[in-house]
């Protein structure tokens, strides 16, 4: 994430493992190695950690 107003650059990475439960549903668990959030209003560098991702399609 590049913020030119304050001249900062933050890097991050995600790692995740997914499992298909049905043809239309999968569950994933992973870890966020970055310190910033996808909510760009949140400027605190404390968002590193485990996440759960549920994906459904029809």
What is the pLDDT at residue 2? 78
* pLDDT per residue rounded down to tens, the chain (58 residues): 777 887 878 788 889 999 999 889 999 999 988 877 767 677 777 778 899 999 999 8
What is the pLDDT at residue 6? 79
Across 27-47, b (16+ Cβ under 10 Å) vs e yields: eeeeebeeebbeeeeeeeeee
What is the pLDDT at residue 27? 97
What is the pLDDT at residue 3? 76
């Amino acid at each position: 994430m590049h913020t030119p107003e304050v001249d900062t650059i933050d890097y991050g990475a995600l790692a995740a493992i997914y499992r298909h439960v049905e043809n239309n549903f999968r569950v994933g668990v992973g870890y966020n190695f970055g310190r910033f959030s996808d909510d760009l209003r949140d400027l605190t560098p404390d968002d590193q950690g485990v996440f759960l991702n549920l994906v459904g399609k029809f």
